[in-house]
Structure 1
Amino acid sequence: MKPIEISFEFFPPKTPEGIEKLRETRKQLALLKPKFVSVTFGAGGSTQQGTLDTVLEMAADGLEAAPHLSCIGSSKDSLRGILNQYRSHGIRHIVALRGDLPSGMGEVGELRYASELVSFIRAEHGDWFWIEVAGYPEYHPQSRSPKHDLENFARKVKAGANSAITQYFFNADAYFRFVDDARKLGVDVPIVPGIMPITNFSQLMRFSEMCGAEVPRWVARRLESFGDDREAIRAFGLDVVTGLCQRLVDAGVPGLHFYTLNASAATKAICERLGV
């Protein structure tokens, strides 16, 4: 069996302590030899400099680093400037997203959808960038319907994406159905499942509410029953997420993309259990 390809998502730290923590996390996770690492981009480009700095530091360490780029709230000129900057530093991998409009910002920007951003990147830079887009197995919380969301996903891919990473989920069947439905619409790129390690119950429920990911009732009730027992939450979370990953790997997924939240312990433990 061929080795599982893994990748990790980080966010740009905002404090000196956060920078040191991420450096240590990166050092630990680099030992797992990820295919690439991605770095998030704040709403409306609010962490633009932090994203660039983090990406360049990781690239200097020999990691293939892929900055996130979102188009909502941005002009074509500002996006052009960011893309040119990445290209000038030899960055060839990008995660193209619609993004969220920051609160208080009224301007949507010149590009409203991720499909338009992908087309824009291709028009400006041809095949220079390997472009990832996002997929939503349980459909995007702002989408009108699952069908509409799936059509949007297909549109993004056909605009020129090379591969896709999904929002995290805990129901493998939702992912399998999403991939099957996407294939029926002619999507033929790899669709890599996004994986969220479980380490904190309230944080998990808050994130899941925001992004439309469903936490199965039995998982939520069990986590809730542990109260403040962090070790019990981590141990149970490790079992649940490793089981999910094993099922995905057994089904032949093209890789696993971990939402690390800039911490290494849970992701590392899952990967070790999987034999990565």
Structure 2
Amino acid sequence: MPWSRKPWSRQLPEGGWAAQSVLITGASGGIGQALVDELAGAGARLLITGRRREALDALAARHPGRVTVMAADLTRAEERRRMVEQALEAGCTMLINAAGVNRVGLFESSSDDEIEALITLNLTSTLQLTRALLPRLLAAEHGWVINLGSTFGTIGYPGQAGYCATKFALRGFTQALRRELADTRVHVLHVAPRATRTGMNAPEIEAMNQALGNAMDAPQRVAGLVRRAIEAGREETQLGGPERLFARLNALLPGVVDRALRRQLPTIRRFITKPRGDTP
């Protein structure tokens, strides 16, 4: 129920992670798997979901008694309903939206199906799951929504138009929901990793980042930083010092960033442009 003011600290309450029951989506992905290891290792009880059952089972085997597995497709309404039911049974009061997909390439080569898949998983299904679980979070003594965004939710980047669209929208959703729930006991956080070494990256993307001098984090490092952001109750967290500076510059002087990225365009196009005749 709504409260006239937040009667709780922005940090984790007494009992820490051992008192938390957490639903993590996208747990079979690179950052998702690292988050499971990080939070289960800290003592949390986890309900983990994702499409790859084998990866989920391997995580559960590493953390016996702490991890419950539910293989599910977040984009399917019936499977989201089952997620919510199982989250209620498990007493989850923290939702970490880590599910996501990316497609790197020139926007003109994107198909309708690719654009729809990006928006459906990265944005629509995430919002629908959050809304469905919100009554439980509002009723809890302490409720949490943590959305994993991206540097590309702050900086529009060539070759990432569709992905940027979803991550900009997720950041706006997080900010709006936080303000909408400002007089409740639900705390809403946004954590934006920079480039991360995961299986979602094609080899040419890692090669492009190396050529451009873009730093890439290991998923384990990202998971540790996400955990610390939650523990500190930081509502907005951008990972990476240069990325924080670039995001501020983009907000204040976007023309400067336009010119800097224009100089990178030949290198970006060299790695992401498909030869004519290839299917996107």
Q: Same fold (TM over 0.5)?
A: no
**Which is helix-richer, 1 or 2?**
2
TM-score (norm 1): 0.38
TM-score (norm 2): 0.38
From the CA coordinates, give the structure whose radius of gyration is larger. Answer: 2
